[in-house]
Structures are given as structure tokens and as C-alpha cells.
Amino acid sequence: MPNILVKIPRGAFPGEARAQLAQNIQEAAARAEQMPDDPRHRALYWVLIEEIDAGLWTCGGHDVGAKVLTFFALALVPAGVLDTRSRALYVGSMHEAFAKAMPAEDTRRLHSSVIVQEVPEGCWGGNGVLWTLPALAQAAGYAHLQHLVAEAAA
């Protein structure tokens, strides 16, 4: 049940490519977080895509947009959902999500920066309620954390 904030160069993913990008990002996150393919759970994914104007995104002080397609993603995930392996899967899957959504006519190299930031227990709120990891596990359906749901109910 992440919040994923994405920054891309303006116009890099037009029309259907942008819709495909959002879908790919959601699938990458679900795979890493072990969330079932259930619309009730997947509705908890928030993906915000922001376009950055040319010249406002530099690498090493230079606008490299003509040579490379850069993107930045910050995935905010509740602490305890990911382990080392799943964080690596998150980063790799996110890069792959962008590569698959790139318009065919865009031949630039893809450069990614993905940060997975875990939100500590007691710091995730939604709809005016502070969520615990067992409550998040129940709402999101995390396959590997369902024991927490059972323990909280006992």
C-alpha cells in the first residue's frame, strides 16, 4: 500500500504510454510487496506522476534530456513490509516498469533513481486514522504478513 511519487521529463510518456507506465508501476510495487491481484487491495496504491519541464532536470549540472531519459521514483512503504530481497526487487521492477512503458520511437538510454523509504510504525495515517502494520497487512492483503492480522485478532 505504497505512495509512489514519480518525476518524469515533460512529454516523455504521452497518452497510452503514461497509462501503461502507471499500470507497470503498480504491478512492480505489488510484486515486491506481495500484494494479491485483487481490486480491493490494489485500490490502495497511490501513484503520482509529475512532469518536469526541460532544463529543470540536470545531471552533473547539465541538461542531458536529449541523450538519456531520466526518471525519479520515491516509494513510501510501511516499515516491516519489505526485506532486503524485496527492496532490491522493488528497485529493479520499477526500472523495468519504465523501460516497458517507453514509447517505441524514444531511443534514449533510460536512467533511473529509485528510493524505497520505509515509513516507521505509527507514522502512516489515512483518512484521519493512524494505521498499524497489522491493519495495513489486512487492508493490503500482504501475503507474507497475514500472520500479523491473525495475531492482532486473537
**DSSP code, position 132:** P
Would you state the pLDDT for residue 116? 97
pLDDT digits (tens, 9 = 90+) for 37-72: 998 888 888 999 999 998 888 888 888 888 899 999
Tell me what pLDDT residue 77 has. Answer: 96
The three three-digit cell numbers of residue 70, written as one number: 531520466
Flag whether pLDDT at 3 surpasses 80.
yes
pLDDT in tens, 96-146: 999 999 999 999 999 999 999 999 998 999 889 999 999 999 989 999 999
Provide the total of helices (H) and of strands (E) in the chain, helices listed first: 5, 6
State how beta strands 3-9 and 68-78 pair: antiparallel
Is the pLDDT assigned to residue 4 strictly greater than 90?
A: yes
pLDDT at 62: 86
Rounded distance, CA 56 to CA 52, Å?
Answer: 7
The single residue listed with the C-alpha cell 525519479 is 72
39 versus 94: which is more confidently predicted? 94
Question: What pLDDT, on the 0 to 100 scale, is given for residue 41?
Answer: 86
Correct CATH for 3-122 of 2.60.40.10, 2.102.10.10, 1.10.1740.10, 3.30.429.10: 3.30.429.10
- Predicted confidence (pLDDT) per residue in 22-35, tens digit: 999 999 999 999 99
